Structure 1
Amino acid sequence: MASSETTRGTAVEEADGGDGGERPIEKSTAKPRPGNAQDLAGLEAGLDALDAVQTKRVSPVEVLVQKVLPPIVAVAVVLAVWKALVLAKVTPDYKLPDPGRVWDALHQLWVEGELLDIVWTSVSRGLFGFLIALAIATPLGLVVARVKFIRSGLGPILSGLQSLPSVAWVPPAVIWLGLNDQMMYTVILLGAVPSIANGLVAGIDQVPPLFLRAGRTLGARGLVSARHILLPAALPGYVAGLKQGWAFSWRSLMAAEIIAKSPDLGLGLGQYLENQRNNSDMAGVLLGILMILVVGIAIELLIFAPIERRVLRSRGLLASAR
């Protein structure tokens, strides 16, 4: 029995290193359990799914139901309510004409060949004035956003000009420049430049400072930093400023066309509206309002909405391609 215990003790000592010390810890070569590996793989897949941008294409039927049908239904409801008010005789016909009379006025303009000329006169002025405002407001916004002294001086002025009604600029513009296209473009610039510049300033204020430090580390300074860092990073706010700038351009132009009247200016939408008001033709007045509304919405949907969707999609802010 003693021999057996001695043999067992010797074996233990040899296993411990023979000197009574602790046995060295060896790296485990055991393989992870299948359950743990599956849990880890599931966690990684879930994180990848959170980071991934969904790019599922929307079917034509979904586009029809989500994009086309709601505006059509809204227009139909407005026309139905309009027609019901006319039939109920809630007001005399010269104040609220039948929708059919407005359609007849539109058809008459088309037959006489004046419709496209009237629309193009205003659209060409509005777009050209907006492009000039864009060329002025973009560098102005960059300077105001990056130079503290200029921002302290011009920042409040730009905000005040943006809140000033555009129609207020028409009388002084007529006195300064006369009844001509230069007066029209001046009113557009005074209405659109502050909105575009303020939108760019707001977008630059939201750019993380880390972007600018990284750019300086890579040697991007001055105009290079503005071109490759500031403008791309501030693009969402800049696009929002462009949309608002177009809205102010269109409103300013309509105010100028309604107030200023001259044969040299041609017949635009605003002047057509004012002419129908002078003739006490309510059907023509409503037609002018509808055309101004439709053109403004069409420009926003055809030009600015696609740009905005592309910018948001490039930043992973749209769940699906639209």
Structure 2
Amino acid sequence: MVLESDRKRALDLEAKDVGSRLHQQLAGLDALELSEGTRRNPALRVWSAVWPMLTAVAIALLAWQAVVWSGWKDPWVLPGPKDTLPVLWDQVTSGSFWSAVRLTMQRAIIGFTVSIAVGVLIGALVSQSRILRRAFGSLITGLQTMPSIAWFPLAILLFQLSESAILFVVVLGAAPSIANGLIAGVDYTPPILLRAGKVMGLRRLNLYRHLILPASLPAFVAGLKQGWAFAWRSLMAGELLVIIGNTTSLGVLLSQARELNNTADMISYMIIILIIGIVIDQLFGVVDRAIRTRWGLDRT
């Protein structure tokens, strides 16, 4: 018995020694990768991130100008970049324009925040219950694929021309994507992590908070990104259809430019809407890269 216990103790010490050496080697490799990443010139890193976007913008402007040069439409119907970009600059430098942007972004932030709360609640309940998943799983996907503009007749009947009508459609457009993202993240949580969490005493809310949510974070962020895209599209459709009193938003400005046949103004507002969408997408990209870096998945 003494020899058996000594043998086990020796094996445990050897295993700990091997584990310690492996940890040191992995730490050395991580440090080597980090040092290689920090050797790059910051200016080069910025340029490597910016030049593809600048190239895409240049190609888009050239294609736009080529269509104008082709004579497909009269210049008053489809003005070129040289006629539209000065109008865009005038809009950007006016105070009334930024008031409209502020109202639109306020609606977007409120709608997206409510969508996150609703989507997380639904996703958490459905992902943890087989009965709820069978009952509502397909319904959530169906709501996600349903065009948000189809909800506006009902929203106007329920809430008239009000902020609530816009918020209603934004939430219905974004919440299903957020819920599906959380459900997918929970589904792909490795079972070994769940068993380890239960062995460590994690149950119910603590298990969800300390293990399942962190493990499902990449898929959840992807769901948030998709949810924002649906929320932004729903909001733009809502501002075009639901005009509330004397309020001025990007959708209202776009609608007024269309009614006045002012194509240059209309295209400039469309460019601003596109730029806002790109900026928010870049913010989600920063969060995604931070998560991948934390998990050791960033190979750039």
- Normalising by structure 2, report the TM-score: 0.86
Q: Deviations over 1:184-210 (max 9, x none)?
A: 111110001000000000011000111
Which residue of the other structure, out of 207, 227, 231, is the alignment partner of 2:189? Answer: 207
> Aligned partners of 1:223, 1:298: CA distance in 2, in Å?
35
Alignment partner, residue 164 of structure 1: 146
CA offsets per residue over residues 109-152 of structure 1, 9 Å max, x none? 34542221111111111011101111121121111111000111
Q: For 1:169 and 1:261, how far apart are their aligned partners in 2?
A: 16
1:262 CA displacement = 2.6
| 1:80 aligned onto 2:62 | yes
Which string of whole-angstrom CA distances, capped at 9 and with x for unpartnered residues, describes residues 73-131 of structure 1? Answer: 22122212322332342321123102122223223334542221111111111011101
Q: Deviations over 1:37-71 (max 9, x none)?
A: xxxxxxx8xx8599747221242233233211111
Once the two structures are overlaid, the 10-residue window that deviates more, 268-277 or 221-230, is: 268-277
Structure 2, gaps ≥5 residues long: 1-21
Looking at structure 2, the residues matched to 115 and 63 of structure 1 have their Cα atoms a distance apart, in angstroms, of: 34
Question: Which of 243, 257, 273 pairs up with 1:276?
Answer: 257
For residues 84 and 140 of structure 1, the distance between their equivalents in structure 2, rounded to whole angstroms, comes to 48
**Which residue of 273, 285, 296 corresponds with 2:277?**
296
Cα RMSD for the two superposed structures: 2.0
Match of 2:285 among 305, 312, 322: 305
Q: Aligned residue for 1:95?
A: 77
| Corresponding residue number in structure 2 for 1:237 | 219
Larger radius of gyration: 1
Counterpart for residue 186 of structure 1: 168
* CA–CA separation in structure 2 for the residues paired with 1:312 and 1:101: 43
CA distance, structure 2, for counterparts of residue 49 and residue 189 of structure 1? 45
Q: Where does residue 138 of structure 1 map in the other structure?
A: 120
Tell me which residue corresponds to 2:295.
Answer: 315
Q: How many residues align?
A: 274
List per-residue Cα deviations over 1:151-171 (Å, max 9, x = no partner): 111111100000001111111
Instruction: Point out where structure 1 has 5 or more consecutive residues left out of the alignment.
Output: 1-43
Q: Is structure 2 residue 98 aligned with structure 1 residue 116? A: yes
Counterpart of 1:4? none
Partner of 1:69: 51
In the alignment, is residue 223 of structure 1 matched against residue 219 of structure 2?
A: no
1:287 pairs with one of 260, 268, 280: 268
Deviation at 1:300, TM superposition (A): 2.0
Which of the pair is proportionally richer in helix? Answer: 2
Q: Deviations over 1:278-319 (max 9, x none)?
A: 1111112211211111111112213x1221111111111102
Query: Structure 1 length as normaliser, TM-score?
Result: 0.80
